Amino acid sequence: MARLPSILLICCGSMAREMTALVRDQGWSHMRITCLPAHIHNTPEKIPEAVRAKIHAGRGKADKILVLFSDCGTGGKLAAVLEEEGVEGIGGAHCYEIFAGGGNFAALMRDQPGCFFLTDFLVRHFDRLILAGLGLDRFPKLRRTYFGHYDKLVYLAQREDLELQDKARAAAKTLGLEYELRLTGYGDYRDFLAAKSA
């Protein structure tokens, strides 16, 4: 039986748990994951060169490299780096689109444009990243400034976890938003990796 080519996956630390579970659950033992820290999204202009550094570090250690970052606010600069390096990426605007599925996300944005999204990672770290990160724990009046144009919090759940659902529901209440749960699983990440797994 032929050996499957080794594949290095470069992703955001905010998805490390989910991508590790996906690779394990699918039995893709020829894939390994390396991550950039999740907080790099606070400075999206740093993402392209940080991904390039991961690509260079991974060359010669895997037969193929795949990038699971979407554009993530780089204004097309990440796509330019991937083209220069000859590495394939998953595409899309951000992980919300990929988790929801491109067509589903487009329909959601068309029908309900005022949505604030959370993933499993963001639900787990809501207090630190959203409340403290935006200063809402100290200055609750900022809620209207940040979230006044949102109508709904949509939790794009990667797995069915009642505790996380309760936390997401509480987060919606804290932000004064309606709550909606969408159990997306791994969305287009699963399909993309399945197509590239051999």
Q: Is 118 helix (H, G, I), strand (E, B) or coil?
A: strand
| Count of domains observed in the chain | 2
Write down which residue in 28, 60, 93 finishes a domain. 93
DSSP character for 91? Answer: -
pLDDT at 42: 84
Residues 78, 143, single domain; the answer is no
With respect to residue 188, please indicate whether it lies within any of the assigned structural domains: no
- Cα separation, 142 vs 158, in Å, equals 29
Q: Which of 75, 93, 111 is the last residue of a domain?
A: 93
pTM reported for the whole predicted model: 0.91
Indicate if 68 and 28 belong to the same structural domain: yes
| Residue-number span of the structural domain to which 132 is assigned | 102-183
> Could you report the per-residue pLDDT of 139-185, keeping only the tens digit for each?
999 999 999 999 999 999 999 999 999 999 999 999 999 999 999 99
Give the per-residue pLDDT at 4.
80
